[in-house]
Amino acid sequence: MSTVETAETAIYDRRESEVRSYCRNFPVSFARAEGATLTDADGNSYTDFLAGCSSLNYGHNDPDMKAALIAHIERDGLAHALDLHTEEKAAFLTAFEHHILRPRGMEHRVMMTGPTGTNAVEAALKLARKVTGRRNVIAFSNGFHGMTLGALALTGNAGKRGGAGVPLPDVTHMPFENSMGDLDTLDYLDTMLSNPSSGIDAPAAFIVELVQGEGGLNAASCEWVQGLARLAEKHGALFIVDDIQAGIGRTGSFFSFDHMGIEPDMVTLAKSLSGFGLPFACVLVRPEHDIWKPAEHNGTFRGNTHAFVTARVALEKFWADDDLRNEVARKSQVLEERLSQIAGRIDGAALKGRGMMRGIDVGDGEFAARICADCFRRGLIIETSGAQDEVVKVLAPLTIPMEQFRKGLDILDAAVEACAPFPIAAE
């Protein structure tokens, strides 16, 4: 492995904003990517346990999506179509209905928003406020929902919030499950909302990630999610699941709330929605809430036609049968076992997450950063999350070959051992 040469990096120093971040931890120039493997300009290969922060659940450059996209471009299919009708949009919607919505009995409609998660979240907020005529929204500690002002107001992280430079009103932050020791967080929320003198204004919506991606891979239990959905209904609030990071198979099935017996009023999707890493986002809306006036919320790049093409292939290839689900279940078990082992050897460490969205809370961010840096030297790309960046987070492509997956976990294991600031407990 080599670092990028001067000539190549000079352009970034000279012309790219200081806001860039991941490239600081992985200072090579990437040339190609296939499946779970990234290759740099010098030909070095890396296993990808970051997967575009869960935007590449099916890996890089899936051959079927790739072929379909090339074919689309070659025959001069539209690249940009605003919200005009195209065959590609119709095919995507049809596949989404057929493979995702109908099997679940979901009557939801698809609202194409600007192709980023934060835009989808902003649209969902607007609609919830319009539907209910209320302003306040309940969000949860350690939640992350985006960086534009409406979504940022929902976000817990003080550093990100501080970036706003303005107050972030119209949101009440409540504790996520298990964030307060033994406190019954649902009871807390219910009591505050039931007390007309609590000072908490009646909410338009609850918005929650079932596994908090940026917040440290905190996974809500089925009981908590069900209870939360009931509370939302009790208090006249819409229940919005932000499935941008945890959805599209990441936790084992398409939605993170599958098999929980709930049906959210809205669901936000982005990241792996296109299947190929292309910008694409949407909000699923129960039809009775779909009271938008035409163009009341819009955006130039809503409905990315290239993304329709790859997303349709992804739906047909991976969600027409149970193969991926079964594969993810197997890998999830491997992941849980290996991470449990590793965590067990670090004093105070804890396993976090659910499905293929797992990590180890190693207790402090500096230690976690050293582990990731060591992994990178060994050919594994992996990152942290959490309020203090204290969780080493495994977000491998769901489709990663089992052998490569195990090798990646071996690297992580070795890196933890190499970086541990204290003698590691014997296995």
List phi, psi (to 5°) of 354.
Answer: -155, 145
- Biggest CA pair distance of the chain: 64
Choose, by CB under 8 A, the member of 1, 42, 43, 79 that binds a second copy. 79
Q: Does 64 bind a second copy (CB under 8 A)?
A: no
Q: Does 399 bind a second copy (CB under 8 A)?
A: no
Q: Does 413 bind a second copy (CB under 8 A)?
A: no
| Residue 329 CB neighbours (<10 A) | 14
Choose, by CB under 8 A, the member of 6, 21, 288, 427 that binds a second copy. 21
CB 135 within 8 A of CB 125: no
Only one of the segments 185-193, 247-255, 312-320, 400-408 lies at the binding site for a second copy (rule: CB under 8 A); that segment is: 185-193
Choose, by CB under 8 A, the member of 44, 64, 104, 160 that binds a second copy. 160
Only one of the segments 157-165, 224-232, 335-343, 352-360 lies at the binding site for a second copy (rule: CB under 8 A); that segment is: 157-165
Give, as ranges, the residues between 187 and 216 that touch a second copy (CB under 8 A).
187-188, 191-192, 195-202, 204, 215-216
CA dist 227 and 205 (Å) reads 15
| Torsion-angle region of 148 (φ positive above 0: left; ψ -120 to 50: alpha; else: beta) | beta
* Closest among 396, 367, 366 to 381, alpha carbons compared: 396
Choose, by CB under 8 A, the member of 44, 64, 97, 364 that binds a second copy. 97
Only one of the segments 4-12, 311-319, 327-335, 338-346 lies at the binding site for a second copy (rule: CB under 8 A); that segment is: 4-12
Q: Does 57 bind a second copy (CB under 8 A)?
A: no
Give, as ranges, the residues between 344 and 373 that touch a second copy (CB under 8 A).
none
Only one of the segments 112-120, 311-319, 326-334, 365-373 lies at the binding site for a second copy (rule: CB under 8 A); that segment is: 112-120
CB 223 within 8 A of CB 178: no
Choose, by CB under 8 A, the member of 235, 263, 301, 340 that binds a second copy. 301
| Torsion-angle region of 241 (φ positive above 0: left; ψ -120 to 50: alpha; else: beta) | beta
Q: Does 285 bind a second copy (CB under 8 A)?
A: yes
> CA 96 from chain center: how many Å?
19
Q: Does 304 bind a second copy (CB under 8 A)?
A: yes
Q: Does 283 bind a second copy (CB under 8 A)?
A: yes
Give, as ranges, the residues between 227 and 266 that touch a second copy (CB under 8 A).
none
Q: Does 404 bind a second copy (CB under 8 A)?
A: no
Choose, by CB under 8 A, the member of 45, 64, 66, 325 that binds a second copy. 66
**Residue environment code for 66-77, b if the CB has 16+ CB neighbours within 10 A, otherwise e:** eebbeebeeeeb
Choose, by CB under 8 A, the member of 58, 99, 119, 208 that binds a second copy. 119
CA dist 24 and 200 (Å) reads 42
Q: Which is nearer to a second copy, 17 or 105 (CB)?
A: 17
Q: Does 2 bind a second copy (CB under 8 A)?
A: no
Angle at 265 between CA 262 and CA 270, to 5 degrees: 95
Q: Which is nearer to a second copy, 128 or 375 (CB)?
A: 128
CB 238 within 8 A of CB 245: no
Both structure tokens of 114 = 């600007």
CA dist 282 and 124 (Å) reads 9
Closest approach, Cβ 268 to a second copy, in A, equals: 13
